[in-house]
Amino acid sequence: MNRTPSLVVALLVAPLALVLLWAFHEALTQPSGARLADLAETSLSRTGVGNPVTAVLLSYRGYDTMLELGVLLAALLGIWSLGRVSPGFHPPELALTAMVAWVVPLLILTAGYLLWAGAERPGGAFQGGALLGAAGVILRLTGERRLGLPSERAQRRLAIAGIGAFLAVGLGTAAAGLGFLAYPESWSKWLILLIETATTLAVGMTLAAAYPGGPPGPAGNERDAP
Amino acid sequence: MTELLFGGAGILLFAMGLWSFLVHEPLLRKLIAFNVMGSGVFHILVAISERGALRPDPVPHALVLTGIVVAVSATALALALDRRLDDEDPDG
Amino acid sequence: MDSLALAVALPLLAALLATVWPARATLLGLLGALATAAAALMVITEVWEHGQLSTALGGWDIPLGIALAADGLSAALLAMTALVGLAISLYAAAYFDGRQAMHFWPLWLLLWTALNGLFLAGDLFNLYVTLELLGLSAVALGALGGDRAAVAASLRYLLVSLLGSISYLLGVVLLYTAHGSLDLARVAAALQPGPVAAAAMTLMIGGLTMKAALFPLHFWLPPAHASAPAPVSAALSALVVKAAVYLILRLWLDLFAPLVTTGAAMLLGGLGAAAVIWGSWRALHAERLKLLAAYSTVAQIGYLFLFPPLFQATPPGPGRDDLLAALVLMILTHGFAKSALFLAVGVIQKRSGHDRIAELGGTAQRLPATTFTLGLAGIALIGLPPSGSFTGKWLLLNGAFASGQWGWILVILTGTLMTAAYVFRVLSRAFNLEPTPPGFVTDARTELPALLLAAIAAIGLGLAAAPLWPLLGGGEDGT
Q: Are C223 and C156 in contact (CB under 8 A)?
A: yes
Q: At what angle do helices C318-352 and C241-250 cross, to 10 degrees?
A: 170
Contact B80 A210 (CB under 8 A): yes
What percentage of chain A reaches a pLDDT higher than 70?
88
| pLDDT computed for residue A31 by the predictor | 64
List the domain boundaries for chain B.
2-88
| Rg (alpha carbons) of chain C, rounded to whole number | 21
* DSSP per residue, A33-90: ---HHHHHHHTGGGTT-S-HHHHIIIIITHHHHHHHHHHHHHHHHHHHHT------SP
Distance between CA atoms of residues C302 and C214, nearest Å: 7
**Chain C residues in contact with B21 (beta carbon < 8 A):** 163
CA angle C140, C166, C109 (to 5 degrees): 30
Residue A175 confidence class, pLDDT cut points 50, 70, 90: very high
Select from A113, C74, C165, A191 the least CA-distant residue to B66.
C165
- Using a CB-CB cut-off of 8 Å, the residues of chain C touching B67 are 169
Question: Do C388 and C332 form a contact (C-beta atoms < 8 A)?
Answer: yes
Per the rule left: phi > 0, alpha: psi between -120 and 50, beta: everything else, C9 is alpha
Quick check: helix, strand or coil at residue A223?
Answer: strand
Helix axes C148-179, C124-142, angle to 10 degrees: 180
CA atoms lying within 13 Å on the CB side of residue C279: 33
Say if the Cβ atoms of A1 and B80 lie within 8 Å. Answer: no
Average pLDDT over residues A38-51: 90
Q: Is residue C74 part of a domain?
A: no
CB pairs < 8 Å spanning A and B:
119
Question: DSSP 3-state assignment of C467?
Answer: helix
Kindly report whether the peptide bond that precedes residue C438 is cis, defined as omega within 30 degrees of 0.
Answer: no
Q: How confident is the model at residue A37 (pLDDT cuts 50, 70, 90)?
A: confident
Report the C-alpha gap between A49 and A45 in whole angstroms. Answer: 7
In chain A, the residue whose alpha carbon lies closest to the alpha carbon of B44 is: A24
| Per-residue confidence (pLDDT) for residue C169, from 0 to 100 | 98
8 A C-beta contact, residue C299 and residue C422: no
Looking at the predicted structure, is the pLDDT value of residue A147 above 80? no
How far apart CA A132 and CA A111 sit, in angstroms, is: 6
**CA-to-CA distance for C208 and C268, rounded, in angstroms?**
12
Candidates A175, A148, A188; CA nearest to A43 is A188
- What pLDDT is recorded for position C404? 87
Note the pLDDT of residue C283.
95
Residue C178, chain A, CB below 8 Å: the answer is: yes
| A180 CB burial (10 A radius; 0-12, 13-18, 19+) | buried
Q: Tell me which chain B residues have a C-beta less than 8 angstroms from the C-beta of C151.
A: 81, 84-85, 88
C-contacting residues in B 11-30 (Cβ below 8 Å): 14, 21, 27, 30
**A28, A75, A81: residue with CB nearest C136:** A75
pLDDT averaged over every residue in chain B: 90
Neighbours of A5 (CB within 10 A): 11
Q: What average pLDDT does the segment A172-188 reach?
A: 93
| Annotated domain spans of chain A | 1-32, 40-210
Can you tell me whether residue A106 is helix, strand or coil? Answer: helix
Contact call for B58 and A79, based on CB within 8 A: no
CB C82 within 8 A of CB C6: no
B-chain CB neighbours of C143 within 8 Å are 81, 84
Q: Which helix (H) or strand (E) holds C55?
A: strand C53-56
Q: What share of chain A is helix, strand, coil (3-state, %, to 5)?
A: 70, 0, 30
Contacts of B66 in chain A (CB under 8 A): 57, 64-65, 68
Give the Cα separation of B67 and A61 in Å (integer).
13
Cβ-count burial of C184 within 10 angstroms (0-12 exposed, 13-18 middle, 19+ buried)? buried
pLDDT score recorded for residue C430 = 86
Amino acid at C342: F
Rounded CA gap, C145 and C147, in Å? 6
| pLDDT attached to residue A183 | 95
In a 3-state reduction of DSSP, which class is residue C256? Answer: coil
- Interchain pair C155, B60: CB under 8 A: no
Residue partners of C99: CB distance under 8 A and separation at least 6: none
Q: Which domain holds residue C346?
A: 261-479
Nearest chain C CA: its distance from B62 CA (Å)? 11
Q: Could you please report the per-residue DSSP string of B28-63?
A: HHHHHHHHHHHHHHHHHHHHHH--TTSPPPHHHHHH
Q: What is the CB neighbour count within 10 angstroms for residue A93?
A: 10
Query: Could you give the CA distance from residue C328 to residue C336 in angstroms, rounded to a whole number?
Result: 12
At residue A223, does pLDDT exceed 70?
no
User: Would you tell me which CATH number, out of the four given (3.40.50.920, 2.160.10.10, 1.10.287.3510, 3.40.630.30), belongs to the domain B2-88?
Assistant: 1.10.287.3510
**Interface touch C196/A183, C-beta < 8 Å:** no
Confidence category of residue A79, pLDDT binned at 50, 70, 90: very high
**One-letter amino acid for residue A17 of the chain:** A
pLDDT one digit per residue (tens) for chain C, 479 residues: 589 999 999 999 999 999 999 999 999 999 999 999 999 999 999 999 988 899 999 889 888 999 999 999 999 999 999 999 999 999 999 999 888 999 999 999 999 999 999 999 999 999 999 999 999 999 999 999 888 999 999 999 999 999 999 999 999 999 999 998 999 999 999 998 999 999 999 999 999 999 999 999 999 999 999 999 999 999 999 999 999 999 999 999 999 988 888 899 999 999 999 999 999 999 999 999 999 999 999 999 999 999 999 988 888 888 888 899 999 999 999 999 999 999 999 999 988 888 999 888 888 888 889 999 999 999 999 999 888 889 899 999 988 988 888 899 999 999 999 999 999 999 988 887 655 556 778 788 888 899 889 988 888 887 777 777 777 754 444 33
Q: Which residue has the higher pLDDT, C128 or A39?
A: C128
Domain count, chain C: 1
The widest CA-to-CA distance across chain B, in whole angstroms, is 61
Q: Letter for the amino acid at A173? A: T
Where is average pLDDT lowest: A82-86, A200-204, C351-355? A82-86
Q: Is pLDDT larger for residue C133 or for residue A151?
A: C133
pLDDT bracket for residue A33 (50, 70, 90): low
* CB B57 within 8 Å of CB A36: yes
Q: What pLDDT, on the 0 to 100 scale, is given for residue A226?
A: 37
Pairing of strands C53-56, C67-70: antiparallel
Chains with 3+ CB–CB pairs under 8 A to B are: A, C
Structural domain contains residue C277: yes
State the alpha helices, DSSP H only, in chain A. 3-29, 36-42, 52-55, 62-81, 94-117, 125-141, 152-159, 161-175, 188-210
Tell which C residues from 195 to 234 touch A, by Cβ distance under 8 Å: 195-196, 198-200
> For residue A183, what is the DSSP state?
-
Q: What is the pLDDT at residue C475?
A: 41
- DSSP class of residue C182 equals -
Least CB–CB distance from A75: residue in B54, B56, B73: B73
* Nearest residue to A79 (alpha-carbon basis) of C139, C357, C432, C293: C139
Yes or no: say if C338 and C269 are a contact pair by the CB < 8 Å rule.
no
Number of cross-chain residue pairs from B and C with Cβ atoms under 8 Å apart: 63
Q: Residue C296 and residue C5: Cα distance in Å, rounded?
A: 35
What are the C-alpha distances in Å from C293 to residues A93, C287, C359?
54, 11, 17
Chains that touch A (3 or more CB pairs under 8 A): B, C
For residue A110, the tally of other CB atoms under 10 A from its CB is 18
In angstroms, the CA C67 to CA C182 distance is: 10
- Identify the burial level of A6 via C-beta atoms within 10 angstroms of its C-beta, where 0-12 means exposed, 13-18 middle and 19 or more buried: middle
ipTM of the complex: 0.96
Structural domain contains residue C221: no
Q: What residues of B are in contact with residue C159 (Cβ under 8 Å)?
A: 27, 30, 34, 78
C156 CB neighbours in chain B (<8 A) are none
* Among C64, C48, C47, C65, residue whose Cα is nearest residue C56: C65
Q: For residue B76, give the 3-state DSSP assignment.
A: helix
Interface residues of B toward A, Cβ cutoff 8 Å, are 3-4, 7-8, 11-12, 14-15, 18-19, 22-25, 44, 48-49, 51, 54-59, 61-62, 65-66, 68-70, 72-74, 76-77, 79-81, 83-84, 87
| The predicted structure's pLDDT at residue A222 | 41
Q: How far apart are the first and last CA of chain B?
A: 53
User: What is chain B's alpha carbon radius of gyration, rounded to the nearest angstrom?
Assistant: 17
Chain B contact probe: residue of C131, C161, C173 with most B CBs at under 10 A: C173
Q: What is the pLDDT of residue A139?
A: 86
Better-scored residue on pLDDT, A157 or A102: A157
